[in-house]
Amino acid sequence: MPVAKGGLEDVVAGQSEICFIDGKEGRLLYRGYDIVDLAEHATFEEVAYLLWYGHLPNRSELDRITSDLARNRTVPAEVLELIRRAPRTAHAMAVLRTAVSQLGVLDPEADDDSREANLRKAVRLVAQTGTLVAAIGRVRQGGEPIAPDPSLGLAADFLRMLTGRAPSPQDARIFDVCLILHADHELNASTFAARVTCATLADIYSAVTSAIGALKGPLHGGANENVMKMLHEIGSLDRVEPWVEEALAKKVKVPGFGHRVYKTEDPRATILRRYSKELGERRGETKWYAMLVRLQDLMREKKGLYPNVDLYSGSVYDALGIPMEIYTPIFAFSRMSGWTAHVLEQYADNRIIRPRAEYVGPVHGEDVPAPEGLGRVDVGAAHEERPHLALLRHARPPRGSMPAARAALAPAVQWVPAGVAGPPILFPGGPGRGRSVQPSLGRAAHPL
């Protein structure tokens, strides 16, 4: 059987109508609409509707979804209390993951798997995740959660609940675009985790909790936070070039550059670079923007790498007064719209996701020396009375020889722990660590 590259690179795991990435041309489409056009002309509420329903809303549909997202922002008191009681040392994503899971426990429709109920739950999840992230940010800064204001849009109300003051229309619009840019990105690790979970017919809360867990990992979420930490470490524009040279000499990964799919600049980075400059100029502080542009030029010159969405997003959030520790939870707030859209799509045409692994562990064959304290035993003679025996003979089958390896697994000789009774002791092999699983989707099933 064919064997995938590490991390499922370039593996096409299914078809989807939701999102398309053209890595060569640097294009990103939601349901056939270019991200550049959506960022210019749409709101996050419209984009969430697009992801869920497959088309942009008309006026009455937009009024309805805007109203639904506004009136569903309040979260149960029990969940806010959980956030207050969480240790300050806990990772903000761990708190969010637990809070979203508790929402599922308290939702009376949690186990109603009809499409209508799941659409209602998708609305509640997007609406309430913003409230949760703002509450986590407030509590971790020593404040109290602020109740939602349904007269505001999702982006403006989030900034108000986080900072305690109403944002300017310009700031609200920039954050609205940030939510649009992060809403979906095809079959990334967290979206794949959500689809794997819901493919078992687990409920939508279980699926998005899996996704949050995947996003918590530093190989998926957290890069924009690392970019800002890097800027603080560098300190000034004149230090950028020597810092980059030293980092590259030490083979240190520079955050904010490169992507598994894009072979050119991420279109989201292009938009965020403009906002980073605009916000810096409005606030009279362009240091971060200038340093990022210099970093971008140096990495392109020295490594041939292009910026991804994370390079400029942290500086935008910083200018909006957002604390670093909730950058990744904000990612989850936005991506909740995409995760739930993928869950709905998976439910609509479901088959449990069950790939295969190439076995490269031990099989019966070539003898290996017995570990100290273990005795050699013929299973053919002792299998009935010694059912706890573990493998004696080990051989590593050549790649592609799975049928032969499977045939070789008939019991023959096993290791027996001297004087120990119990279940079999297995010595399985295992894959390597350190690569994010990022399969791909095939040709977009939606006309582009």
Judge whether 6-22+30-220+325-348 and 224-315 match in fold.
Answer: no
| Long-range pairs for 3-8: beta carbons < 8 A, 24 or more residues apart | 3/358, 3/399, 3/400, 6/431, 6/432, 6/435, 7/260, 7/435, 7/436, 7/437, 7/438, 8/437, 8/438, 8/439
Spatial distance between the Cα atoms of 177 and 230, rounded to a whole number of angstroms: 25
CATH topology of domain 6-22+30-220+325-348: Citrate Synthase; domain 1 (1.10.580)
Q: 431 CB contacts (<8 Å, ≥6 apart)?
A: 6, 357
Higher per-residue confidence, 442 vs 227: 227
Report the mean per-residue pLDDT for the chain. Answer: 86
**Residue pLDDT, tens place only, 190-225:** 999 999 999 999 999 999 999 999 999 988 888 899
Q: Which two tokens stand for residue 402?
A: 């799975």
Mean pLDDT to the nearest integer, 351-379: 71
pLDDT score for 441 = 64
Which residues are paired to 376 by β-bridges? 415
pLDDT score for 6 = 84
How many Cβ atoms from other residues are within 10 Å of residue 216's Cβ? 20
**Residue pLDDT, tens place only, 297-351:** 999 999 999 999 999 999 999 999 999 999 999 999 999 999 999 999 999 999 9
Q: For the chain, how long is the longest CA-to-CA vector? A: 84
Q: Which two tokens stand for residue 158?
A: 């989030």
pLDDT score for 305 = 94
Among all residues, which ones are annotated catalytic? 259, 310
One-letter amino acid of 220? H
Domain boundaries, the chain: 6-22+30-220+325-348, 224-315, 362-430
pLDDT-based confidence at residue 5 (cuts at 50, 70, 90) = confident
Spatial distance between the Cα atoms of 90 and 329, rounded to a whole number of angstroms: 13
CATH code linked to domain 224-315: 1.10.230.10
Phi and psi torsions of 221, nearest 5°: -95, 170
Spatial distance between the Cα atoms of 341 and 121, rounded to a whole number of angstroms: 11
Which residues are paired to 422 by β-bridges? none
pLDDT score for 242 = 97
**Residue pLDDT, tens place only, 30-54:** 999 999 999 999 999 999 999 999 9
Confidence (pTM): 0.83
The stretches of 284-387 forming alpha helices (DSSP H) are 287-303, 310-319, 327-348, 379-382
pLDDT score for 443 = 47
Find the range with the poorest average confidence among 51-55, 160-164, 394-398, 433-437: 394-398
Higher per-residue confidence, 82 vs 399: 82
Spatial distance between the Cα atoms of 331 and 426, rounded to a whole number of angstroms: 41
Report the share of the chain in percent with pLDDT over 70: 81
Helix, strand, or coil (residue 444): coil
**Residue pLDDT, tens place only, 230-264:** 999 999 999 999 999 999 999 999 999 988 888 89
Which residues are paired to 377 by β-bridges? 414
Spatial distance between the Cα atoms of 268 and 281, rounded to a whole number of angstroms: 20
Number of alpha carbons in the 13 Å side-chain half-sphere of residue 85 = 8
